């Protein structure tokens, strides 16, 4: 049998080891909670950043709409769209009557609205729809309505050339 003093020291050592293990367990649990909170915070920050980027993208498009050079391109396009020829073949004459620069301006304006429509309809949220619905969507929709007859002719003429 061990002397009572040695048994007490061993018991005391075991108690200290148990307390240290409990302390480490508590520290690990606290560290885990802190890490979880940091991950949650990073996810929230990423979500907020993505939302702000999608809003910024709408404002960038709106800024482009009011850019002087773009307004000039857009007016060239609108001048073409309001002509409304009597037959689909009339678009050919109207289009070829435009200078190469005017044709490029019309196509650049329409490409802009194609990009806006694609981003608006993208399910990943490139554009903030709530912000876009306040103005950008109405302007883009209005332009597509004006351009529809021309765009249909342009698609048909390019499709027939590709064959």
Per-position DSSP letters for 67-79, written without gaps between them: -HHHHHHHHHHHH
Q: How far apart are CA 73 and CA 81, in angstroms?
A: 13
With 0-12 / 13-18 / 19 or more C-beta atoms within 10 angstroms meaning exposed / middle / buried, residue 87 is exposed
Given a contact cutoff of 8 angstroms between Cβ atoms, the answer to whether 52 and 125 are in contact is no
Question: How far is it, in rounded angstroms, from Cα 1 to Cα 10?
Answer: 14
pLDDT of 161 reads 67
Overall pTM > 0.85: no
Tell me how long the chain is. Answer: 163
**Cβ-proximal residues to 91 (8 Å cutoff; 6+ apart), any chain:** 85, 149, 150, 153, 154, 157
Q: What is the pLDDT of residues 108-152, one digit of tens each?
A: 999 999 999 999 999 888 999 999 998 899 999 999 999 999 998
Percent of the chain with pLDDT over 70: 93
- Is 60 exceeded by the pLDDT of residue 2? no
Residue 24: its pLDDT value, please?
92
Pairwise CA distance, residues 43 & 63, whole Å: 30
The DSSP H or E segment spanning 135 is none
- Residue 52 pLDDT more than 70? yes
């Amino acid at each position: 049998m061990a002397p009572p003093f040695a048994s007490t020291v061993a018991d005391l050592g075991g108690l200290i080891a148990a307390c240290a293990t409990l302390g480490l367990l508590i520290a690990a649990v606290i560290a885990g909670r802190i890490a979880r909170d940091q991950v949650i915070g990073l996810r929230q920050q990423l979500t907020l950043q993505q939302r702000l980027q999608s809003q910024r993208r709408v404002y960038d498009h709106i800024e482009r709409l009011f850019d002087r050079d773009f307004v000039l391109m857009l007016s060239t396009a609108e001048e073409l769209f309001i002509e409304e020829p009597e037959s689909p073949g009339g678009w050919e004459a109207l289009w070829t009557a435009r200078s190469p620069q005017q044709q490029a301006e019309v196509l650049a304006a329409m490409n802009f609205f194609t990009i806006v429509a694609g981003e608006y309809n993208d399910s990943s949220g490139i554009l903030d729809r709530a912000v876009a619905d306040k103005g950008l969507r109405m302007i883009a929709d209005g332009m597509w309505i004006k351009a529809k007859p021309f765009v249909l002719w342009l698609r048909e003429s390019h499709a027939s050339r590709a064959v």
